[in-house]
Amino acid sequence: MGSGIIGWQVISLCCIALWIVISSMLDLTQKLRSFTQSWVSNRVLSATPIILKIQKYQNKDLDALFSVLSCVVSVPFYTAFLPLLFWTGHCKLARQMTLLIAFCDYTGNVIKDVVSAPRPSSPPVRRVTATKDEEENAMEYGLPSSHTLNTVCLSGYLLHYILAYTESNDALVEFVGVTIACLVVGLIGLGRIYLGMHSLIDILAGLAFGLGILALWLSVSEYIDNFVVSGQNVVSFWATLSFLLLFAYPTPEFPTPSFEFHTAFNGVALGIVIGIHQTFNQFHHEDVARVFSPQLTFLAFIGRLLLGIPTILLVKFCSKALAKRILPILANTLGIPIISTRYIPALNGIPNDKKSDDIKQSGYFQKVLFFSKQTSFDVDTGIKFLQYAGLAWSVVDLVPSLFFHLGL
């Protein structure tokens, strides 16, 4: 039995590594882009009149409404919301949604950077970027709409969890739940078009990929959850998987922030898996106290927030500081030439910003092999990865330990 478990883990990791090699050697990214980019770009251009018709109804109230909705379903919101969900006692929901959003983020960003299709041209389209997060989103490619994809997956999984948790078989309740989920997805899609961030083809692609990912996740989520909480070689397997996923990423036509977003959530997933696997029986089993119960009152939950939030922010800062010190030393010891495009000014040895971006986003095999044509490797990727892994680990391991010792 044990050898069988180890066998499938080794085979799956080897398959990913082999895919990285084959994708690089055959230049699959460029081949796929040559088939899809032109067609998608034409659809985006032809949909401009539709966007302009929708934007004729622009006003401050709609700007505010759709900007708020976009923030509520953005990755930074999930990053802030998911720790709170862990601390309410709904641990299974929190870890499933964390891994699901990491999967959605990876899949959506890979497709974006493979296709490398533009967003609607502004002008003539009016683009509303009310937050710094939206400004960064506008720098990404368009298809698919990540907001739509993520909303489909997370609202669908949340509905599934609620119905399973309440053991409801009422058809009316299911109908109302599905209606609300569809309404939210529809508003998000309409809002992304209204704000000038996406065209219709981007929204439809986000909807289609989102439904596909949701269907896949609902079929495998229990297996993944059982593996995370009680499997063998979980930490070593997931650490290797996370490492490979840093390299199993396409090179976009021009640099975008998408790879950085993937790196952060890849680290989050690793930190969550390590913490959950190590402390499941202590802090994350199904019988833990849930908020509003006699064992976890609302005041106690507020105490958790006041302690937990500063703690994870401190861990995030310390993880970044340690990574900035350790990774350059490790790279020098191994003889790996490195450069930093952001975090370590002393290593920023390339004056041309475009060259720095190319190093950060060099795709597939070129990122990792010593016989690569690339002369330096961006240490910022490793720093960001370890920074967010440390933050996520603190959410499910360090902070719950503090809660336990302080009676929270």
As a whole number of angstroms, the distance between CA 279 and CA 88 comes to: 16
Assess contact for 118 and 257: CB atoms under 8 A: no
The candidate with the shortest Cα–Cα distance to 187, out of 76, 77, 68, is 68
The candidate with the shortest Cα–Cα distance to 198, out of 62, 57, 51, 75, is 51
User: Can you name the residues that pair with 144 across neighbouring β-strands?
Assistant: none
Cis ω on the peptide bond leading into residue 123 (within 30° of 0)? Answer: yes
Q: Is 198 a catalytic residue?
A: yes
111: phi then psi, degrees, rounded to nearest 5: -65, -45
Active-site choice (90, 160, 198, 277)? 198
Q: Is 405 a catalytic residue?
A: no
Torsional class of 27: left (φ above 0), alpha (ψ -120 to 50), beta (otherwise): left
User: Can you name the residues that pair with 378 across neighbouring β-strands?
Assistant: 339
Structural tokens at position 358: 């190319």
Q: Which residues contact 254 (CB under 8 A, 6 or more apart)?
A: 116
Instruction: Please name the helix (run of DSSP H) or strand (run of DSSP E) that holds residue 339, with its range, or none.
Output: strand 338-339
Using DSSP bridges, classify how beta strands 377-378 and 338-339 pair: parallel, antiparallel or unpaired: parallel
Tell me if residue 141 falls in helix, strand or coil. coil
Active-site choice (147, 262, 277, 284)? 147
Q: What residues are annotated to the active site?
A: 147, 198
